[in-house]
């Protein structure tokens, strides 16, 4: 191990970047410590080495860093997180330093925050149903243990409320284990973060939570490290300590903006809307850190949250995220305006892993069919609603009207629920049948006749009883 | 060979000096960790290298050593059922070395060295053999008879040929060539960026039957053809690719997961050994090779992975097999080109992609085709290539989509709107096309008679008419339509919902034989024709919309293949319920 050399050869500071010259043996991605003239310590990492120059990304930004007087030390290792089981219940800043009043972590080990890619051959396919108690997730966009399912939201929409409700209610049927929560805040407000923390406190989840906080007024570039810190903690808890971890990352939009800032400062050729061309790869290096491993007990289920700029789903941040994650839950402003919580846009939302997480022995055998039918009927209702807006009610055929009514009922009874309402999967599935039973059997093409015979009569009766009473 | 030294590290790009004597595309070993890289630019003794492994921790001054060889794959027994990373390292072997994660600098050969294969010679001492001639066979899996061929660059007389159990490294034959006697084992090494030769290219003349109704009926791809599946996220590209990998009537499947999700590869790995090939009843994995370079694996290896895949596919094509290659997603491959090009500071073209994007894509699809293979028996092989494309925001003006459409002959256009209403496969029946329908005409006539083509064209016309009528309905409502047009709308709906719609996750619906496809469409068209007659004889459209038999038609697709006789009953019900007397 060579001695750590110190350099005072900073030649340029621009935005979040710093150029150090006449360096030797500097490594790509190496952690850098910068001592300002006043003694303050800052951190950064090496973005590029070229001959005797090192380009350094400054986590805390360039403020106060000058070309003269700053001492730069290359620490001979990457950015690391010290871990031990004592991280549970603790709060850290965006660079993994404790910010609650607790003691320093006595590390069992230090882990490089970039992790290493999981071998697809070692993965186990996620298939255990997680009941969140929210119908439009459990019934329509079923979440499974080890999945990465983001929430695409917009500013002012209740994504935090939903994430908190999921964290509070999530459980795997037939097991007593509760989830450990790893929470990474990136650029969100103090108020928003308090909302999460106070709920974790109330429910006692805080004891099984690890929090990494980079708030709106914290250094923006630090955010690039924050989700990696959090996922390193999550991997440690899941794959070394056998826990089931729910990782909530919010807000990925702030994260991507920090990435863009660095890219712009490097004068890279920008991709769409100024975001770097490698953003897909970069985001994948975060989102792919979810899943299960063959013959290991733990799991990481990821719920990243992002706010879509201008509610635009084709914006690069939601777009690239959707290309990597295993589905998405999209929140809709019109639904929110209608007073529907959770304001989920059901047709555009999707859980790709649901198919192996539902059905007999997991949820119920009629799940897949009823879910297809609900979608079918709801989208037909939405089409009828659109027609009505253009042509007026008179233009609607009898069938249109029927689906129109179905869509209304579906939104009001199925999607809408209270933030403290915890519906069992049985309740959710029955609710689906109840709504479908209002349609003629000939319209229920997507349901196997066996299930129609078994389930439908029960709900048909209920319906007629209601009508006569 | 001179050892160079690193002078620059920028992400996956490393620049080294002192590389005299190195050639373009040579594979190099970077640093003492011996990371694998490839030279992609040379200026005097200065080489730009794309590194196939994570470069964190590399620094200036570390050694770089050229192997003097281009990036190559090993071809021979042991490919089937394997899962490789982008540069043909077996992921199971990597797991054995480095556990659940992929560490760096691991060296494992593409073909297992331990296993002994039963080599049965087909040629004998004294035979004059040339490129592609079959020397012998190895039954690699229950589904694949692996032919051991003379490599494309060797010609001569067999002076010795063995028989029995050998590892891939043991010599099995001696050939006297102009440059002396050559000893061969069962491994051929081939540079991935070089097309393997064929004797003659042929036009596809038979469809690759996929069991997917919208594809087989409306937009078929020929064996040896090319197709692309562009679509926004979540529109069903991967499911289609998986469906083809499962059910297409190809002898060999090469599936390249390029920069996509880890779990999707795991899914294939866990599912394929359980699934039966509908023709042989054997596990599907026995005819499948997987290349997995997932999105969290190094970006440069993503670029290599499609070449690794297609080289393996060509090799099996050379044996006279019909091979299908799936690449999901070619956009990730293009993006990795873009990233490297950006770091090389090349002049960017459209959307930052390098100017050679179109050429690379065209070269890739050109490697597909039906051909007379090299070898004196003139066997015919076919390589069908299907690429998914993932354009930003689903926008088809994307350069990768456009470059791809210029070269491929089948376009399965996935539409977000269809996916939202869970109409799967979300292949647009209006926007998609297949340029093979003419080439395949003779095949259809020979196998199904003229009626199939007629029926298909009528179905297509009805769908087109529905689209026009929809315009009117949007303006003035459905009641304004004539009964005849109402009927067209109704039949179109039935074609869409009862025929084109296909649930990949339904036990029966997931695969439909051509015969069953024919019969379902026949039922729908039969009802249509009878209904037209009913309208002419004065029956009301409302009555026709309510026929009980419609539900039976809707459920026809769930009828198991061995119960297709029951369709006769449906047909007589159609006749009975549309009696005009
Ligand atoms: N034929 C089908 N039958 C039933 N469901 C389907 C079918 N095709 C797609 N789906 C549904 O759509 C989801 C998304 O499909 P898929 O993963 O293939 O999308 P994709 O186009 O590959 O998306 P991405 O670009 O993000 O990878 C699937 O998880 C499945 O739920
Ligand atoms: Mg996909």
The enclosing domain of B341 has a CATH number of 3.40.50.300
The HSE-up count of residue A430 (CA atoms within 13 Å, CB side) is 9
- Quick check: is B300 in a domain? yes
- Residues A404 and A381: their CA atoms lie apart, in Å, by 4
Structure tokens at A245: 């971890």
Q: What does the pLDDT average to over B537-562?
A: 90
**CATH number for the domain harbouring residue B41:** 2.40.30.20
Contact A287, A148 (CB under 8 A): yes
* pLDDT band at residue B239 using 50, 70 and 90 as cut-offs: very high
Cross-strand pairs, A27: B59
Do B553 and B477 belong to one domain? yes
Residues of A whose CB is below 8 A from B348: 269
Do B349 and B496 belong to one domain? no
At A353, give phi and psi (nearest 5°): -100, 5
**CATH number for the domain harbouring residue B463:** 1.10.1140.10
Q: How far apart are the first and last CA of chain B?
A: 92
Which of B400, B433, B466 is where one domain is finished? B433
Is A389 within 8 Å of chain B by CB?
no
Q: What does the pLDDT average to over B263-272?
A: 90
Contact B134, B377 (CB under 8 A): yes
At A60, give phi and psi (nearest 5°): -95, 10
Does B246 sit in the ligand 1 pocket, CB within 6 Å?
no
Do B426 and B508 belong to one domain? no
* pLDDT band at residue B258 using 50, 70 and 90 as cut-offs: very high
Q: What does the pLDDT average to over B325-353?
A: 90
- Quick check: is B103 in a domain? no
Do B158 and B278 belong to one domain? no
* A111: pLDDT strictly greater than 90: yes
- Quick check: is B439 in a domain? no
Residue ranges making up the domain that contains B24? 3-70
Which of B15, B50, B70 is where one domain is finished? B70
* pLDDT band at residue A1 using 50, 70 and 90 as cut-offs: very low
* B154: pLDDT strictly greater than 50: yes
Do B150 and B240 belong to one domain? no
Average pLDDT of chain B is 93
Give the mutation candidate from B4, B49, B81, B296 for the A interface (greatest A CB count, under 10 A).
B296
* pLDDT band at residue B2 using 50, 70 and 90 as cut-offs: low
- Residues B480 and B463: their CA atoms lie apart, in Å, by 19
Q: What is the pLDDT of residues A246-271, one digit of tens each?
A: 999 999 999 999 999 999 988 888 88
Query: How large a percentage of chain A has pLDDT more than 70?
Result: 97
Q: What does the pLDDT average to over B445-471?
A: 93
Which of B211, B214, B230, B236 best tests ligand 1's pocket when mutated (most atoms within 8 Å of CB)? B236
Nearest Cα neighbor of A187 from A261, A81, A270, A87 is A261
What lies within 8 Å, CB to CB, of B429 at 6+ separation is B214, B218, B460, B463, B496, B500
- Quick check: is B100 in a domain? no
- Quick check: is B104 in a domain? no
Q: Concatenate the DSSP letters of all residues of A312-361 into one string.
A: -TTSHHHHHHHHHSSEEEEB-HHHHHTT-SS-B-TTT-EETTGGGT-STT
Do B323 and B372 belong to one domain? yes
Say how many domains are in chain B: 4
- Residues A320 and A317: their CA atoms lie apart, in Å, by 6
Q: Which of A84-88, B276-280, B571-575 shows the lowest mean pLDDT across its residues?
A: B276-280
Do B355 and B486 belong to one domain? no
Which of B383, B404, B433 is where one domain is finished? B433
pLDDT for A469 equals 43
Do B122 and B166 belong to one domain? yes
- Quick check: is B75 in a domain? no
Do B123 and B161 belong to one domain? yes
**CATH number for the domain harbouring residue B169:** 2.40.50.100
At B368, give phi and psi (nearest 5°): -80, 170
Does A352 sit in the ligand 1 pocket, CB within 6 Å?
yes
Q: What does the pLDDT average to over A345-374?
A: 92
- Quick check: is B213 in a domain? yes
Do B498 and B400 belong to one domain? no
- Quick check: is B274 in a domain? yes
- Ligand closest to A284 (CA) is 1
Do B403 and B500 belong to one domain? no
Q: How far is the CA of B237 from the centre of ligand 2 (A)?
A: 5
Structure tokens at B79: 């490919």
* A19: pLDDT strictly greater than 70: yes
pLDDT for A464 equals 61
DSSP character for B507? T
* pLDDT band at residue B343 using 50, 70 and 90 as cut-offs: confident
Do B263 and A289 make contact, defined as CB atoms within 8 angstroms? Answer: no
Q: What sign results for the dihedral spanned by CA atoms A110, A113, A114, A117?
A: positive
* B193: pLDDT strictly greater than 80: yes
Residues of A whose CB is below 8 A from B419: 350
List the single residue in B with minimal CA-CA distance to A392.
B477
* A2: pLDDT strictly greater than 60: no
Residues of A whose CB is below 8 A from B57: 27-30, 78
Q: What is the pLDDT of residues A397-430, one digit of tens each?
A: 888 899 999 999 999 999 999 999 999 999 999 9
Q: What number of other Cβ atoms are within 10 A of residue B278's Cβ? A: 14
Is A274 within 8 Å of chain B by CB?
no
Do B144 and B282 belong to one domain? no
């Amino acid at each position: 191990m060579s001695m750590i050399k110190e350099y005072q050869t900073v030649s340029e500071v621009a935005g979040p970047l710093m150029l150090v010259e006449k360096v030797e043996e500097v490594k790509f991605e190496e952690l850098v410590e910068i001592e300002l003239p006043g003694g303050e310590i800052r951190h950064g990492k090496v973005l590029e080495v070229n001959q005797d120059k090192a380009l350094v990304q400054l986590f805390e930004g360039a403020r106060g860093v000058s070309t003269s007087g700053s001492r730069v030390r290359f620490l001979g290792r990457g950015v690391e997180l010290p871990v031990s089981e004592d991280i549970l219940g603790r709060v850290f800043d965006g660079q993994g330093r404790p910010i609650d009043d607790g003691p320093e972590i006595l590390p069992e080990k230090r882990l490089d925050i970039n992790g290493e890619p999981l071998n697809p051959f070692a993965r186990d396919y996620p298939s255990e149903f997680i009941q969140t108690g929210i119908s439009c997730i459990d019934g329509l966009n079923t979440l499974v243990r080890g999945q990465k399912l983001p929430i695409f939201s917009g500013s002012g929409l209740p994504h935090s409320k939903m994430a908190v409700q999921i964290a509070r209610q999530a459980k795997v049927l037939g097991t007593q284990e509760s989830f450990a929560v790893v929470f990474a805040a990136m650029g969100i407000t103090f108020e928003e973060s308090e909302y999460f923390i106070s709920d974790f406190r109330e429910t006692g989840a805080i004891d099984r939570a690890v929090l990494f906080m980079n708030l709106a007024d914290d250094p923006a570039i630090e955010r690039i490290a924050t989700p990696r810190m959090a996922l390193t903690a999550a991997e440690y808890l899941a794959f070394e300590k056998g826990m089931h971890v729910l990782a909530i990352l919010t807000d990925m939009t702030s994260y991507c903006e920090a990435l863009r800032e660095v890219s712009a400062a490097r004068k890279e050729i920008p991709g769409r809307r100024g975001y770097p061309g490698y953003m897909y790869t970069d985001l994948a290096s975060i989102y792919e850190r979810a899943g299960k491993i063959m013959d290991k007990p733990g799991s990481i289920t990821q719920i990243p949250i992002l706010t879509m700029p201008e509610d635009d789903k084709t914006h690069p941040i939601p777009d690239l995220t959707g290309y990597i994650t295993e589905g998405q839950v999209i929140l809709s402003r019109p639904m929110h305006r209608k007073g529907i919580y959770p304001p989920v846009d059901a047709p555009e939302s999707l859980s790709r892993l649901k198919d192996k997480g539902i059905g007999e022995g997991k949820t119920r055998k009629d799940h897949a069919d009823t879910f297809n039918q609900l979608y079918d009927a709801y989208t037909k209702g939405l089409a009828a609603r659109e027609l009505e807006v253009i042509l007026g009610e008179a233009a609607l055929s009898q069938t249109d009207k029927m689906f129109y009514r179905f869509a209304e009922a579906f939104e009001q009874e199925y999607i809408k629920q209270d933030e403290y309402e915890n519906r069992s999967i049985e309740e959710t599935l029955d609710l689906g049948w109840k709504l479908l039973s209002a349609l003629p059997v000939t319209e229920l093409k997507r349901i196997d006749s066996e299930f129609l015979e078994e389930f439908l009569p029960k709900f048909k009766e209920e319906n007629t009883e209601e009508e006569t009473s | 060979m001179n050892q160079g030294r690193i002078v620059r590290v920028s992400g996956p790009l490393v620049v080294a000096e002192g590389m005299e004597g190195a050639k373009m595309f040579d594979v190099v070993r970077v640093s003492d960790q011996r990371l694998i890289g490839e030279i992609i630019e040379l200026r005097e003794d200065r080489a730009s290298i794309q590194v196939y492994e994570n470069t964190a921790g590399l620094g200036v001054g570390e050694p770089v050593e050229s192997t003097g060889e281009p990036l190559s794959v090993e071809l021979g027994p042991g490919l089937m059922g394997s899962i490789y990373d982008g540069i043909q390292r077996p992921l199971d072997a990597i797991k054995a070395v480095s556990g659940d994660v992929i560490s760096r600098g691991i060296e494992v050969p593409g073909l297992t060295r331990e296993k002994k294969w039963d080599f049965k010679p087909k040629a004998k001492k004294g035979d004059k053999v040339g490129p592609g001639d079959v020397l012998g066979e190895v039954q690699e899996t229950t589904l694949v008879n692996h032919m051991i061929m003379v490599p494309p660059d060797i010609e001569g007389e067999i002076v010795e040929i063995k028989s029995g159990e050998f590892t891939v490294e043991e010599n099995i034959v001696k050939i006297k060539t102009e440059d002396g006697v050559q000893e061969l084992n069962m491994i051929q090494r081939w540079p991935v960026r070089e097309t393997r030769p064929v004797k003659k290219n042929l036009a596809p003349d038979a469809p690759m039957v996929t069991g997917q109704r919208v594809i087989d009926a409306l937009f078929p791809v020929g064996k040896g053809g090319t197709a692309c599946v562009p679509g926004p996220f979540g529109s069903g590209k991967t499911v289609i690719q998986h469906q083809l990998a499962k059910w297409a009537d190809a002898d060999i499947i090469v599936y390249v997961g390029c920069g996509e999700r880890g779990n999707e590869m795991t899914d294939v790995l866990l599912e394929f050994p359980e699934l039966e090939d509908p023709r042989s009843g054997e596990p599907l994995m026995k005819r499948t090779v997987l290349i997995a370079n997932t999105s969290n694996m190094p970006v440069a290896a993503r670029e290599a992975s499609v070449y690794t895949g297609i080289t393996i596919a060509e090799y099996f094509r050379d044996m006279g097999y019909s091979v299908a290659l799936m690449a999901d997603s070619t956009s990730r491959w293009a993006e990795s080109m873009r990233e490297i090009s950006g770091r090389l500071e090349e002049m960017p073209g459209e959307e930052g992609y390098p100017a050679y994007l179109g050429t690379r894509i065209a070269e890739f699809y050109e490697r597909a085709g039906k051909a007379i293979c090299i070898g004196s028996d003139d066997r015919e092989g076919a390589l069908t290539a299907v690429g998914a494309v993932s354009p930003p925001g689903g926008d088809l003006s994307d350069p990768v989509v456009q470059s791809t459409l210029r070269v491929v002959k089948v376009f399965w256009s996935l539409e977000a709107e269809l996916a939202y209403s869970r109409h799967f496969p979300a292949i647009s029946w209006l926007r998609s096309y297949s340029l093979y329908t003419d080439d395949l005409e003779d095949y259809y006539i020979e196998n199904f008679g003229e009626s199939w083509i007629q029926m298909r064209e009528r179905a297509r016309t009805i769908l087109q008419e529905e689209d026009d009528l929809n315009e009117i309905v949007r303006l003035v409502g459905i009641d304004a339509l004539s009964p005849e047009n109402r009927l067209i709308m109704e039949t179109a709906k039935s074609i869409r919902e009862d025929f084109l719609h296909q649930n990949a996750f339904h036990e029966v619906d997931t695969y439909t034989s051509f015969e069953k496809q024919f019969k379902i469409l026949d039922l729908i068209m039969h009802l249509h024709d009878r209904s037209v007659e009913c309208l002419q004889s004065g029956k009301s459209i409302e009555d026709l919309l309510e026929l009980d038999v419609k539900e039976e038609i809707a459920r026809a697709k769930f009828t198991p293949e061995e119960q297709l006789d029951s369709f006769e009953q449906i047909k007589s019900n159609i006749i009975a319920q549309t009696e005009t007397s």
